[in-house]
Homo-oligomer: A and B are copies of this chain.
């Protein structure tokens, strides 16, 4: 690109997260960066937006780098809406969300604040990518992600990603063998089996912690889970038209006569 692209950066782990800092560092080498990120962690907030209370937003000074930064009270989707419609002077050329501390592969895309921010940008007509690392730790090593994130980002800027498609990128955690490469995948048909950890509080009342086991029964070799297990980065193209088009004909054969 001849002119520097304007890049909106956000996440769901909050504005202080090391994953966000790494993403800002990578994007500063590619374009002009504006960060609009939540002021508190917003993991698993799905596509929540704030309609019954107010939002506030502060321009903050970061210790290093040329980026502009805003710290906001809302969800990841709120941050994108505020960024695009109120804070940025023009429509960004790209939105990137992450780098999430933890996987957003397969069904996790549904619960993910990181991906909801990327999808929100997609809905607003902005090319958009969510990046996640398969390492939940705050002090996770993000260094090995850099060259791949750069490559994927430049691909999106140079190719025409259709307006109704967003990329969900998951990256294996650091290990000495390194990354094997990049695979284009479909979302694995996997899910969580919930196990509620039931406890009694000091007042004698029952309460629960939501826990669970991730179960992948999808044996396909074209899924994100397969690629990640084998040491590849997975890219799944995601859409926000949720219609099961293939099932419309079948539903039309049901009788709805009253």
Contacts and interface: CB of A to CB of B under 8 A. Distances in A.
B54 A44 contact: no
Contact of A244 (B43, B56, B238): B238
A48 B48 contact: yes
A33 to B, nearest CB: 22
A181 interface: yes
Contacts of A82: 196, 208
A47 B110 contact: yes
User: At the interface, is chain A mostly helix, strand, loop or mixed?
Assistant: mixed
A240 B107 contact: yes
A258 interface: yes
B48 A46 contact: yes
A165 B247 contact: yes
A45 B46 contact: yes
* Copies held by the complex: 2
Contacts of A151: 256, 258
B242 A181 contact: no
Interface residues of A, number: 79
B241 A237 contact: no
Given A242-B109, A248-B186, A252-B184, A196 B48 contact: no
A54 B209 contact: yes
A1 interface: no
A29 interface: no
A94 to B, nearest CB: 15
28 contacts: A41-B52, A43-B52, A44-B50, A44-B51, A45-B46, A46-B49, A51-B210, A54-B199, A55-B207, A55-B209, A81-B196, A82-B196, A123-B191, A155-B256, A159-B254, A162-B247, A168-B242, A184-B248, A184-B252, A186-B243, A187-B241, A237-B243, A237-B248, A238-B242, A238-B243, A239-B243, A239-B244, A240-B242
